[in-house]
Structure 1
Amino acid sequence: MALTTTQLKKRIKIWLWVLVIGLALSGITAFPIETELAWFNNHSGLMSINAKAWFGTIYSAVKITNINYPYLSYGTDWLAFAHLLLAVLFIGPAQDPIKNIWVMQFGIIACIAIFPLAFIAGNIRQIPLFWQLIDCSFGAIGIIPLLLAYRYTKKLTYLKTALSQQHA
């Protein structure tokens, strides 16, 4: 069954809003990092012993750093801010997907680029593989709504071109 332009626009908008909400939540949750780590540290019953030890070490490092050098957490504040700005970036394609298809292409590239960053920087910073894979999941999950919205935008472009040629 062929989709109408209205149906395609609706699907594009839905998938992009899924991405916007995910980016916004990811950004918002980056602000209270010490509180979140404390929660994970206190509720680590289902984690492996290695994961518990790693979270405990990270929590202690963040807590001690925040006591002695609170300005270092400013870096994660900027990370959170970047996620929020990226969320805003995808509102444009939700409104006009054909004109802003480049934003979806940018997002797809960003999702793919997460993988080498996670594995290269993760190894340099001694991040355990399980956490590198969690970081990669942001790209793996984020690319799904982007690819769907991109595919529907390509169909919408084709349909609009075909309709305009029929009326010419």
Structure 2
Amino acid sequence: MQPTETQLKKKIKCWLIFLIAGLFLSGATAFPIESELAIAVNNLDAFSPKIQQWLTTIYTAVKTTNAQYPYLSYGTDWLAFAHVILALLFVGPLRDPVRNIWVLQFGMIACVLILPLAFIAGPIRHIPLFWQLIDCSFGVVGIVPLYIAYRYTKQLESITNYNHI
């Protein structure tokens, strides 16, 4: 039995709310990066030795940079802001998924493009492979709710006889 329009809209909203929350949280947590790293470094026993070393190195770099060149963290602030703005972008498909299906497509393209960015820029910036894989996981995790919402949106489109403009 094919789901109803109401059921499809509810499923789409659930997946998009999950995505929006993830984007918003990843943005909000990018602002206090030095404080978060301090917490991680104070709890190093929870991590493997390789990750302990990496976190200590990153914390030292961020703390030193913020003390001497605080304006460089402005780049991280813009990264955080971009995540929050991207979360807002998905309000369109939350309200009208069929009309805003292009936003879902855009999101899936962005998720796929995370992988080449991580694997190209990562080595250039001396980012360890395990951290590049963590970065890639954002694209892998992000594409799941987007693809599911996209498939439900295509089903919704087919049963509602939506007229394209």
Question: Could you state the TM-score of these two structures normalised by the residue count of structure 2?
Answer: 0.96
Q: What residue is the counterpart of 1:83 in the other structure? A: 83
Greater Cα radius of gyration, structure 1 or 2: 1
Aligned partners of 1:46 and 1:40: how far apart in 2? Answer: 9
Amino acid at match of 1:28: A
Secondary structure in 1 aligned to 2:161? helix
Q: Deviations over 1:14-69 (max 9, x none)?
A: 11111000000000000000001111111121322121111101100000000000
Alignment partner of 1:109 is 2:123 = no
Report matched runs for 1:2-41 at 5 Å.
2-41=2-41
Amino acid at match of 1:128: P
| Matched residue count | 163
Report matched runs for 1:55-74 at 5 Å.
55-74=55-74
Q: What residue is the counterpart of 1:94 in the other structure? A: 94
Structure 1 vs Structure 2: percent identity of aligned residues? 64
Report matched runs for 1:127-166 at 5 Å.
127-161=127-161
Unpaired segments ≥5 residues, structure 2: none
Aligned partners of 1:63 and 1:134: how far apart in 2? Answer: 22
Q: Deviations over 1:70-111 (max 9, x none)?
A: 000000000000000000000010100010000000000000
